[in-house]
Chains A and B, each alone.
Chain A
Amino acid sequence: MMVKWFKSGSPWVWLSAAAVSVCILMVAALLGLIAARGLVYFWPKDVLQATYHDPRGESYRLIGEIQDTEEVPVGRLRENGIEPPGDESVYIRYLVKTGNRDALGMDFRLVLPVFLSDVEYPRELMVVERREWGNLYGYLREVKENGRVVAKGAAAAEALRVRLKRTLELFEKIRHIEKDRIGAINYQLERLRLQERRLDLDNDHDPAKRAAIAMQREALQEEYETLQKQRNELFPLLNRDSFSAEIMDGRTVEVPLAKVVRFYFPNAMGPVDKVGHYFAKLWEFVSEEPREANTEGGIFPAIFGTVMMVLLMSVLVTPAGVVAAIYLREYARQGFVTRLIRIAVNNLAGVPSIVYGVFGLGFFVYFLGGNIDALFFPEAQPTPTFGTPGILWSALTLALLTLPVVIVATEEGLSRVPRSVREGSLALGATKAETLWRTVLPMASPAMMTGLILAVARAAGEVAPLMLVGVVKLAPSLPVDGNPPFLHLDRKFMHLGFHIYDVGFQSPNVEAARPLVYATALLLVLVIVVLNLTAIRIRNHLREKYRSLES
């Protein structure tokens, strides 16, 4: 029976079915993994307190969040000099985030639960997110103003809440002054300097022009000084509050409130509080700037940079791709040459993206950018303006990269427009251009849309070429801001994909940054999956439509 079954070939069918299942499972597992890890990041975890009998040292009090759980074969433990008590072959191991990097030296500890005792989750345990040194875990002791204790014990939490609120407001004010207003003044001062340099270069010694520049500069300087004074008045207010907390090794540490982003008592939080906290963190993630070398805070600049770059790229690639497709399909004489071109275009879709990056760097950045600088920005030399990687060159490079996608999609759309429609239009006396503009293109527009969406999805996820032509790990300013000319095409930008690479692989504290990377990856995957599903939707809808037209 078995032999007959094998002879029928049906086992092979089952095996090939298994191949499909494996592929689907892999996709599901990947998406599931990213979603699970990315979404959990914002959820406040309970903080445990326990006594850890370190097999290689003394016992101590452990306070922290369990970040990860893994199974370790006993051999590996022995290799690390740990002799577990039981005789099992596998042991559970926790990765515990203990925070307090400034006091303890490290954020994380590997802990074997078999050595833990007295595990509890005290409601008074506090988590403090700080602007530097990562989280603090401990018990709130006192709240102070200028070193004087204003609240302690049970009242401390409320006092801390009030004071943190006012400190955050002050912080925001100072940030506004420093970043937005002083930033704008510096920008204008730099422009004045360049104007003056330009006059020098042009041998223009018109005193009126110079006087105007000097006057503007003086006004700016004055404004700058007032702002600085304002800021200096705010500083003592910002720095007056602080609190002290007892951390895991029993020490009491004092933290100024100016360094605190938020605090909470996770073990005392109810489900409603946790959901609130979850969304607050989620909002922070998408709307704030990163902190601590990108390992904390939000990713707003990366989202903004990605969107800007993709928009620019769309503006560049759509007309070029559509025109090329119209030429190939409607105007060029079909024959050997068009076949060759089609092969070339299809081929380009398969050329590695890094090659486009190399081309972009050499041709756009160094050649075009260098020449633009020499012609139009001699005053800024030797600092390059366009002769250095930036968002414009990134958009151009990716436009070139996604060009085949748009051409192929548009061509397919054009080829699906029934001949009868064209002939009808021509028979009614319309010229070729009119036929194209009025009938063919509108019918093919969803196909162009599909092409564009696919191009956008590809561009949003592409990283390798961007590493050469304009992406940076931390951009000081966004490509769009309040300073004229508002859109700064020469600036470098941050990108979601590169952010993942950079934080996940180049960060000094990979372990601490990992949850953030998962969250970023989730966001990127979501964007791309949604874009692709939309494209697939449009395409399927289109096919239905043409089928009905043809019949």
Chain B
Amino acid sequence: MRGDFDSMIGNSSASDSLTATQLRQRTRILKDHLARYAVTIGGIGVIIAVVLIFFYLLSVVLPLFKPAEIEPVASYRLSAASTDDQTLHLAMEEQAEIGVRFTRSGLAQFFFTQSGAVMTEEALPLPSDVTITSFASGAPESAIVAFGLSNGTAILARHIYQVSFPNDKRVITPKLEYPLGEAPLIIDGKGRPLRLLTAQSDQEQTSFAAVTEDDQLVFTHFAVADSFLDDEEEEGERERTSVELEGLPDHTAYLLLDAEQDHLYAANREGALSVFDLSDKGQPALDQRLPSITEGSKVTVMGMLSGGISLMIGSEDGRISQWFPVRDDSGKSRLTHIRDFDSQTAPISVLTPEFYRKGFLAGDTAGNLGIYHATAYRTLLVEPVSQQPLQRLAISPRANAALGETADGELHFLRIENEHPETSFHSLWGKVWYEGYSQPEYVWQSSSASDGFEPKLSLTPITFGTLKAAFYAMLVALPLAVLGAIFTAQFMAPKMRQIVKPTIEIMEALPTVIIGFLAGLWLAPTLETHLPGIFALLLILPTGVLLFAWLWTHLLPSRIRHKVPDNWEAALLLPVIALLTWFSFAISPVLEYLLFDGNMILWLTHDMGIPFDQRNSLVVGLAMGFAVIPTIFSMAEDALFGVPKHLIRGSLALGATPWQTLIRVTLLTASPGIFAAVMIGLGRAVGETMIVLMATGNTPVMDFSIFQGMRTLSANTAVEMPEAEVGSTHYRVLFLAALVLFTLTFLFNTLAEVVRQRLRKKYSTL
């Protein structure tokens, strides 16, 4: 402005004015450049933001498939340990800072896992002239250990860790506790030394099973007697039952009780196994005998997974097999071989289950450590820890650290990184044999109230549901949308077209929550009561329309017919179709009365054996079809309308009827465009959330029946995402579901887009 003003009043020197103009010019150019940079940066930024979605989803999903990692932290011998005192058991507390080692002489040594420095030592209250002859540890989260003694008694102890915060510093104080008292409990009334022992204990009951020196099996059970006075557990209030059992395999070497104290497993090295049913504690009984569980190899170790259902058997050839009770056809539960892990080759020497997941650690005599997950059928890692055989293994409750003892008495402390062992291609997409199921199945069941729950994260049923919903929606939408587009583009009067197109656009803009709510609250009950009507409509509608058309063109006096302008058929049909629909629904109860004895649903479920949900695929198909129609309609109509007019006119001029022209010329030319429209519609149907959420029962069933509901990827995500804990496997699997959706729709859309661009090129050349 300054330059303008100066030159206007003309009192500045020429050079001054020149620089002023130059300056102005320069600012303009600068501004131009700035604008260029700003827009470029802004534009690219927006585009990057858009690409970010994909990569962010991917970054959340990827850790699911990361293998486990271990990192050795320290190796040491416990300073105070006498070398000849054999280790019976190792364990760690929650933080993995303090470990405990139980020894053959009845000593519990608490030590720092980082350094191996002994913190405290506690000796068991062993009576004099009695020695420890056997040892057992309970379910890991119960922290129970039991020592079998040479006089037929046993001591039950728990190692517990009290956390306090004096001066805002965390201090962990370990100690031993005796839930059933310090005095040894009589297991074998005859006082024989206990050669093998197994024990489980919880709030209500404690069970012991022992094999005595002369190979007799004794089962002893302590129940807390009901006390009405106070909850304090006191001596003498327990009921003891003790039974001797028959059916032990020869030379039994392994004895295990499950955490529920309902089953007892006994096996020998050759692989003969007996299962005892303990559900009646007064009368336990031999339930099943398996002659060989290892296919010729020798059993080297036996353990249970968390939850106490699965039995893991390690054998001499390095194989680990999983067994659990499965109900057979007669409803009797039988111990069944489920799956094998054979990633290790040396004889398995020790098996340790994780506390809360279905994973476990395995050590072998070559010093290798294996990390596995049973449900996912996944070997996460096999790595050497030492050259010496691994003899004892402990895992921390959070499964982030392990402690192993080798044959030379050295302890190895390792950090484990293993966040998401539950997922594998097998567990996400394949049939998985879950605990308690009678066969492998596809199941989605992400959470449950109980501990030791096995998450069932198969995406197959919900992906199936997604495709099923999309299929039924397309079944409704495809004929209506494509036929409608054909008529609108090819035959409809321009005036009517001006009404129809915005109507369809409004249809497209309707929020899906409204369609879904009507589908769930109005359509579903209406269809349920007028089920025969809707099927009758399928027949009545086309025949009625054709009949009307025939009457209109052939019987109506042409005087009246010519009063209606050409190509207004659709408008003419409006009242006809409304009438036909009303008629179908009106005769629905009559049909139901005549054909189905007054109740079609009862007929379906009873006579045909087809289960019926009120919110079923029919409802979803109609509602989602409604939502998809406008998408397909608009794009197909565009493609058809864009067919060059001279092609059509040429065909008509050569004597083809309008319909022939349409089939042979227009449709053929526009077919890629219609294909693209269908793809986009399919993409929309796959990703639609609210309609399926509201119009189905959201049960993840794998059934193609039109009378049943489904659970889709999108609805599943919407329902479960808010409850999923950030960073958990469930959370990441839900992200994976979103990624699957993203990829599915992206594929459909890209295909459509490429086809469309080609078509556009073709039209421009025609």
- Residues of chain A touching chain B, judged by Cβ–Cβ distance below 8 Å, are 1-2, 5, 8-27, 30, 33-34, 70-76, 78-79, 89-90, 319-321, 323-324, 326-328, 330-332, 339, 341, 343-348, 350-359, 361-363, 366, 400, 403, 407, 431-434, 436-437, 454, 457-458, 460-464, 467-468, 497-498, 500-501, 504-505, 510, 514, 517, 521, 524-525, 528-529, 531-533, 536
Contacts and interface: CB of A to CB of B under 8 A. Distances in A.
A449 B675 CA distance: 31
A403 B50 contact: yes
A521 B514 contact: yes
Instruction: List 9 A-B pairs, minimum CB-CB distance, nearest first.
Output: A75-B598, A352-B687, A327-B43, A9-B659, A461-B511, A433-B35, A19-B483, A75-B599, A464-B689
Contact of B542 (A15, A354, A362, A461): A15
A90 B589 contact: yes
Contact of B574 (A21, A354, A366): A21
Given A323-B39, A358-B738, A467-B722, A78 B598 contact: yes
A462 B690 CA distance: 9
Contact of B487 (A8, A19, A76, A514): A19
Given A348-B53, A501-B516, 12 more contacts: A15-B542, A22-B480, A25-B577, A89-B589, A344-B47, A351-B742, A431-B31, A461-B511, A463-B512, A504-B694, A528-B509, A532-B509
Given A74-B593, A363-B56, A350 B684 contact: yes
Interface string B118-138: 000000000000000000000
Interface of B: 28-29, 31-32, 34-36, 38-40, 42-44, 46-47, 49-53, 56-57, 60, 479-484, 486-488, 491-492, 500, 502-507, 509-518, 520-522, 529, 541-542, 545-546, 548-550, 553-554, 569-574, 576-578, 581, 589-590, 592-593, 596-599, 602, 626, 629-630, 633, 657-660, 662-663, 680, 683-684, 686-690, 693-694, 714, 717-718, 721-722, 726, 734-735, 738, 741-742, 745-746, 748-750, 753-754, 757
Contacts of B44: 327
Given A73-B592, A501-B513, A501-B694, A14 B518 contact: no
Contacts of B550: 2, 5, 11
Contact of B746 (A72, A347, A363, A460): A347
B719 to A, nearest CB: 9
Contact of A17 (B514, B541, B570, B597): B570
Given A17-B570, A366-B726, A355 B53 contact: yes
Contact of B686 (A2, A352, A457, A500): A352
Contacts of B502: 533, 536
A404 to B, nearest CB: 8
Given A89-B593, A348-B50, A353-B687, A464 B28 contact: no
B599 A79 contact: yes
Nearest to B504: A23
Contact of A16 (B40, B486, B746): B486
A23 B625 CA distance: 11
8 contacts: A16-B484, A19-B479, A25-B574, A73-B598, A327-B44, A345-B47, A352-B714, A497-B513
Nearest to A430: B28
A356 B554 contact: no
Contacts of B32: 431-434
Contacts of A433: 31-32, 34-36
Nearest to B57: A359
A521 B517 contact: yes
Contact of A501 (B28, B53, B509, B517): B517
B626 A26 contact: yes
Contacts of B581: 25
Nearest to A6: B546
B726 A72 contact: no
B458 to A, nearest CB: 19
A159 to B, nearest CB: 41
B573 A13 contact: no
Given A13-B658, A458-B509, A75 B574 contact: no
B659 A532 contact: no
A536 B508 CA distance: 13
Given A14-B569, A461-B512, A468-B722, A532 B506 contact: yes
Contacts of A89: 589-590, 593, 598
Nearest to B526: A70
A258 B45 CA distance: 57
Contacts of A432: 32, 35-36
A324 B43 contact: yes
Given A1-B554, A9-B659, A524-B511, A23 B39 contact: no
A431 B53 contact: no
Contacts, number: 350
Contacts of B517: 500-501, 504-505, 517, 521
B509 A529 contact: yes
B604 to A, nearest CB: 13
Nearest to B499: A24
A75 B589 CA distance: 9
Nearest to A362: B60
Contact of B687 (A351, A437, A497): A351
A356 B53 contact: yes
A524 B683 contact: no
Contacts of B742: 351-352, 355
Contacts of B49: 320, 400
B629 A358 contact: no
A353 B738 CA distance: 10
Nearest to A501: B513
B514 A34 contact: yes
A351 B744 CA distance: 9
Nearest to A72: B529
A130 to B, nearest CB: 25
A436 B39 CA distance: 11
A15 B721 contact: no
Contacts of B693: 464, 501
B28 A355 contact: no
Contact of A33 (B522, B569, B589, B721): B522
B687 A9 contact: no
Given A22-B480, A75-B592, A347-B753, A13 B569 contact: yes
A258 B496 CA distance: 58
B574 A462 contact: no
B56 A17 contact: no
A203 B587 CA distance: 81
Nearest to B659: A9
A500 B602 CA distance: 32
Most chain B beta carbons < 10 A, residue from A326, A350, A357? A350
A408 to B, nearest CB: 12
A96 B533 CA distance: 26
Nearest to B550: A5
Contacts of A15: 483, 542, 545-546
B382 to A, nearest CB: 33
B159 to A, nearest CB: 31
Contact of A463 (B480, B511, B684, B746): B511
Nearest to B719: A467
A23 B629 contact: yes
Most chain B beta carbons < 10 A, residue from A330, A464, A467? A464
A328 B745 CA distance: 24
Contact of A20 (B34, B484, B554): B484
A529 B506 contact: yes
Contacts of B592: 73, 75
A299 to B, nearest CB: 14
Nearest to A71: B589
B513 A79 contact: no
Contact of A468 (B572, B573, B657, B718): B718
B587 to A, nearest CB: 10
B529 A24 contact: no
A249 to B, nearest CB: 29
Nearest to B515: A30
Given A13-B658, A21-B577, A5 B554 contact: yes
A328 B687 CA distance: 28
